[in-house]
């Protein structure tokens, strides 16, 4: 593999930075690394559920009952009642009649988006004859998560990127498309920016063009809305046009992904999506812990309240200190830096001060648009928030 040897040599010559952080504990929101305690402002564990006593108890019981892994596809004997119970709960949360579990959120997008296009062709092998030769097209926000873009690419269908949150650009691209099946794909909350899709406007456009809307609500589920149901609940929107996608590794504190949608779409995905049928699913103890997580989110709304209290306190203090925040809508609050070297230097200085925050640079964002991505947590204290802002002030001085 001479090409990889050449690439590795080039990386070494350029001294390409690598983050060697290897903690011995998970952030809660503090963690231990090399014997030091650091405060994390980078964890997706928004509600502090990953270390919840209730969830650990439920997971331990499932470990005793099922063992440590599934080791089988759900289509070939690996199905369990606990998976179906979790799917029913997830569908209920998203106000849909059906849902389907996947091993990870990334795998969900990588599998579902191509299947929406290719399922009909797969069925031809069994005698299916569509009454029309459907032409599909995707319309995707330019800042959508990489898993969405890769899933769309794998579909083979034409794809049109519209300017970030620019509904006029989306409308124009839909208007000029000859496709009969139009699918708008968007993040609910954009992971590197922290802003929210303007869903009411997007849905009006979808109605006008008879388009399906695929919402990746990884960072909205469990966080947005009066009960934490996500972006659609935040805006008070329900529609049969919407296919909900979510991850279970963020606010719910475990692992996995899912789609919640109309029953006929779930059945097509169940038998036509290789990312579901040709791999093992999440371990049963994770499914059990997730059922408990859904109960906690319902039973303990104070966790979400603390998260938003911390978010507002952080934003207020940062704005008061004169820092340039990219977005203040969600618990993802990025601080614009711009220069990649400066961004890395600030992150390193914060780590020396006992604070971990991710330095986000190209290719995660455009070149010259580097940022420190602060993610707020229900378990943060005001003292920890004060500490990071004071450290930022010293670093920037």
Tally of structural domains, the chain: 2
Q: Which of 189-193, 262-266, 284-288, 363-367 has the lowest mean pLDDT?
A: 363-367
Task: Decide if 60 is inside a domain.
Answer: yes
Q: What is the mean pLDDT of residues 339-361?
A: 93
Are 72 and 153 contained in the same domain?
yes
Question: How many alpha carbons lie under 13 Å from residue 169 in its C-beta half-sphere?
Answer: 11
As a whole number of angstroms, the distance between CA 93 and CA 233 comes to 10
Task: Decide if 5 is inside a domain.
Answer: no
The values of phi and psi at residue 129, to 5°, are -125, 100
Are 32 and 169 contained in the same domain?
no
Task: Answer whether residue 16 shows pLDDT above 80.
Answer: no
Using alpha carbons, list the distances in angstroms from residue 33 to 25, 27, 30, 331, 383. 8, 10, 10, 24, 21
Among the listed residues 105, 168, 171, 160, the one whose alpha carbon sits nearest the alpha carbon of residue 136: 160
Question: Confidence band (pLDDT; 50, 70, 90) for 151?
Answer: very high
3-state secondary structure of 167: helix
CATH label of the domain that carries residue 81:
3.40.640.10
Question: Confidence band (pLDDT; 50, 70, 90) for 397?
Answer: low
Q: Which of 147-151, 159-163, 286-290, 321-325 has the lowest mean pLDDT?
A: 321-325
Are 162 and 59 contained in the same domain?
yes
As a whole number of angstroms, the distance between CA 265 and CA 17 comes to 44
Task: Answer whether residue 14 shows pLDDT above 70.
Answer: no
Q: Which of 105-114, 159-168, 340-349 has the lowest mean pLDDT?
A: 340-349
Task: Decide if 10 is inside a domain.
Answer: no
The pLDDT score that the predictor gives to residue 17 is 53
Task: Decide if 179 is inside a domain.
Answer: yes
Cβ partners under 8 Å of residue 102, min gap 6: 108, 111, 112, 256, 257, 258, 259, 275, 276, 281
Choose one of 272, 298, 324: the last residue of a domain: 298
Task: Decide if 209 is inside a domain.
Answer: yes
Task: Answer whether residue 337 shows pLDDT above 90.
Answer: yes
What is the span of the domain harbouring residue 21? 16-45+301-396
The pLDDT score that the predictor gives to residue 18 is 56
Are 163 and 219 contained in the same domain?
yes
The pLDDT score that the predictor gives to residue 22 is 87
Q: Which of 65-74, 125-134, 137-146, 358-367 has the lowest mean pLDDT?
A: 125-134
Are 168 and 307 contained in the same domain?
no
The pLDDT score that the predictor gives to residue 396 is 67
């Amino acid at each position: 593999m001479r090409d990889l040897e050449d690439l590795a040599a080039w990386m070494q010559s350029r001294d390409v930075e690598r983050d060697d952080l290897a903690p011995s504990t998970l952030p809660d929101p503090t963690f231990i690394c090399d014997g030091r305690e650091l405060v994390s402002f980078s964890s997706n564990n928004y509600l502090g559920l990953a270390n919840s006593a209730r969830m650990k108890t439920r997971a331990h019981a499932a470990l005793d009952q099922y063992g440590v892994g599934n080791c089988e596809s759900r289509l070939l004997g690996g199905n369990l009642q606990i998976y179906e119970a979790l799917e029913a709960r997830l569908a209920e949360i998203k106000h849909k009649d059906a849902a389907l579990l996947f091993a990870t959120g990334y795998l969900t997008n990588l599998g579902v988006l191509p299947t929406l296009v290719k399922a009909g062709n797969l069925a031809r092998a069994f005698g299916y004859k569509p009454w029309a030769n459907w032409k599909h097209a995707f319309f995707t926000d330019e800042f959508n998560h990489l898993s969405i873009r890769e899933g769309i690419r794998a579909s083979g269908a034409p794809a049109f990127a519209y300017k970030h949150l620019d509904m006029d650009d989306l409308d124009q691209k839909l208007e000029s498309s000859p496709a009969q099946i139009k699918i708008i794909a968007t993040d609910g909350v954009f992971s590197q920016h922290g802003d929210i899709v303007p869903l009411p406007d997007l849905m009006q456009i979808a109605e006008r063009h008879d388009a399906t809307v695929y919402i990746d609500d990884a960072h909205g589920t469990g966080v947005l809305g009066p009960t934490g149901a996500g972006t659609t609940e935040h805006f008070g929107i329900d529609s049969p046009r919407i296919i909900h996608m979510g991850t279970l590794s963020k606010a719910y504190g475990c692992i996995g992904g899912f789609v919640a949608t109309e029953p006929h779409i779930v059945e097509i995905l169940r038998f036509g999506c290789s990312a579901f049928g040709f791999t093992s699913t999440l371990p049963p103890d994770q499914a059990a812990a997730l059922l408990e997580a859904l109960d906690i989110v319902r039973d303990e709304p104070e966790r979400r309240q603390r998260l938003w209290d911390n978010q507002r306190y952080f934003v207020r203090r940062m704005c008061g200190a004169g820092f340039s925040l990219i977005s203040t809508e969600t618990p993802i609050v990025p601080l614009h830096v711009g220069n990649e070297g400066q961004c890395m230097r600030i992150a390193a200085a914060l780590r020396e001060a006992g604070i971990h925050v991710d330095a986000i640079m190209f290719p995660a964002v455009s070149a010259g648009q580097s940022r420190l991505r602060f993610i707020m947590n229900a378990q943060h204290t005001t003292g920890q928030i004060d500490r990071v802002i004071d450290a930022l002030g010293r670093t920037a001085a």
